[in-house]
Amino acid sequence: GLAMITVIGRCIGAQDFEQTNYYTKKLLLWDYIAQGGVNVVVLLSLNQILSMYTLTPETRALAWTLVMIHNGMSIFLWPASFVLPNACVPPTRAVHDGRCHGLDAGLAHGPELGALRADGHGCRRVWYAMVVDWICRIICFVARFVSGAWKKNAVKKAA
């Protein structure tokens, strides 16, 4: 994410939108590879990790489920949900494009709210709601990036 902000910010500053697209895709690919590697290791070693703790069978089962949901979905959804916005949000902050910030802030407090219930499924609901939130973020930010809407205010106006 930090590399995306720096590299894409410099590309936009140079008004080189071809490189902006190229490096956005390249850095996303690298993040997918990194997310995949780290999360696959966690998922494959999850039983060993959980065995380091003294857990009741119910707690162990819940922890296993939550890690499977989070890390399993993170492999596919995290980069587009949280790294891609760094390509279309921070660089445009310098050119006063506030629409994307409102979208980001609205999604940050999305479906997780009100997801807890007293029927024992609250934690799972929060994790499922988190995945729905990630999917909504992907839809919004991919559409914004592909449409080029973020470029509108990044173009320098002649002085």
pLDDT in tens, 56-80: 999 899 999 999 999 999 999 999 9
Determine the pLDDT at residue 158: 42
Q: Do 98 and 153 contact (CB within 8 A), yes or no?
A: no
Q: Do 63 and 55 contact (CB within 8 A), yes or no?
A: yes
For residue range 73-100, list pLDDT tens digits in order.
999 999 999 998 888 764 454 444 555 5
Map residue 117 onto helix, strand or coil: coil
Q: Using CA atoms, how far apart are residues 132 and 31, in angstroms rounded to an integer? A: 20
Which residues of the chain carry a pLDDT beneath 50?
A: 90-91, 93-96, 101, 103, 105-118, 158-159
Determine the pLDDT at residue 75: 94
Determine the pLDDT at residue 150: 78
Determine the pLDDT at residue 99: 53
Determine the pLDDT at residue 138: 93
The DSSP symbol for 157 reads P
Determine the pLDDT at residue 17: 87
Q: Using CA atoms, how far apart are residues 16 and 11, in angstroms rounded to an integer? A: 5
Hey, what are 62's tokens?
């819940």
Determine the pLDDT at residue 123: 78
Determine the pLDDT at residue 110: 46
